[in-house]
Amino acid sequence: MEEKLRPLEEKYREIEFFLSQPEVWADPERAAALSREKAELAPLMEAWDRCRRSRQELESARELLSDPELRELARETVQEAERELAASEEELKLLLLPKDPDDDKNVIVEIRAGVGGEESALFAYDLYRMYSMYAERRHYRLELANLNETELGGIREVSFIVEGEGAFSRFRFESGVHRVQRVPETETQGRIHTSTCTVAVLPQLSEAEFHLDLNDVQIDTFRSSGAGGQKVNKTSSAIRVTHLPTGTVVECQDERSQYKNKARALSILASRLSQAEKERQDADVAAQRRSQVGSGMRNERIRTYNFPQGRVTDHRIGLTLYRLDAVMNGDLDELIDALLTARRAEQLRQSEGEQ
């Protein structure tokens, strides 16, 4: 572990030196890049400093064990230093895990109604509202790309982009089938119904990563559609983009600007195709994603929202919270933090198994 940390510490000290030089700040781009690097390395360096202090305290306490008058106090100090050292070393192991390059990207989220008819569409709306409120809590910016509503206020399909630092790292765990158990408003006998929605989550590609041959793309314009009335757009500003080799279709109709809809649709298409290519290259990843997203059937779920009992259960980590109202109002951090911890623990097991 120290072999990995020494060069990183040297790099951190070098960055600190550069940032102390006035000429560096004359170049805003370079200064910003160095500041980002320092911010990324800072938690690791702080944990490394705590680890070294704990080691020094442990060595000093062990030396006092030979003193009869201080032996008892030294024994307690040794135990405390050992606990702090173990915690610091565990933290360092987690911080040294390779970072997913997609974690800091913006994210594309697509929600589709699954099994359950209109109740599924109403739940799709609830999920969209939940993610919108979560994005607001995290100070992310949410941009609606496409919305296909039902007459009763539900959503057949919605896609949106969430922009902000670490957006993909927080939303990535939402990919899969979400199951709801509740009494629909249209149910006259009070029976609990089970419905599902599927959620797909993709990292949004940057313009530099955009590799899309426009000769393979068919672009059509059409009028935005909605549930009717004032929601129907009378201008043909909506865009439908079809990738001819794969048949992948993306629609964007939220912006009144045809140019903005086109740019957004091409961005989503490129991200979808990139994700599909990654899955083709890695059969294990493909199998895992298929098992996560599935077909929307009731037995293929990552999370259950049980309204009569006020609970939400994430089946991947066996976590149940009895605070469904808070979760549906965008308070997702407890769930996502637990999933993130489980993912890091699995990464750590794999890393230790490879050594």
The per-residue pLDDT for range 233-273, each reduced to its tens digit, is 444 678 888 888 888 888 888 666 777 888 888 888 888 88
Same domain? For 82 and 155 the reply is: no
- The whole-model pTM stands at 0.68
Q: Predicted confidence band at 232 (pLDDT cuts at 50, 70, 90)?
A: very low
Residue 321 belongs to domain spanning? 107-344
The per-residue pLDDT for range 311-320, each reduced to its tens digit, is 999 999 999 9
Same domain? For 58 and 113 the reply is: no
Same domain? For 114 and 218 the reply is: yes
Q: Is residue 196 part of a domain?
A: yes
Q: Is residue 350 part of a domain?
A: no
Q: Among 43, 67, 95, identify where a domain stops.
A: 95
Q: Is the pLDDT of residue 127 over 70?
A: yes
How confident is the model at residue 230, as a pLDDT? 42
Across 331-344, average pLDDT: 90
Greater model confidence, 288 or 44: 44
Same domain? For 151 and 41 the reply is: no
Q: Is residue 195 part of a domain?
A: yes
Same domain? For 196 and 313 the reply is: yes
Written in H, E and C, the secondary structure of the chain is CHHHHHHHHHHHHHHHHHHCCHHHHCCHHHHHHHHHHHHHHHHHHHHHHHHHHHHHHHHHHHHHCCCCCCHHHHHHHHHHHHHHHHHHHHHHHHHCCCCCCCCCCCEEEEEEECCCCHHHHHHHHHHHHHHHHHHHHCCCEEEEEEEEECCCCCEEEEEEEEECCCHHHHHHHHCEEEEEEECCCCCCCCCCEEEEEEEEEEECCCHHHCCCCHHHEEEEEECCCCCCHHHCCCCCCEEEEEECCCCEEEEECCCCCHHHHHHHHHHHHHHHHHHHHHHHHCHHHHHHHHHHHCCCCCCCCCEEEECCCCEEEECCCCEEECCHHHHHCCCCHHHHHHHHHHHHHHHHHHHHHHC
Based on the structure, what is the number of domains in the chain?
2
CATH of the domain at 178: 3.30.70.1660
CATH of the domain at 48: 1.20.58
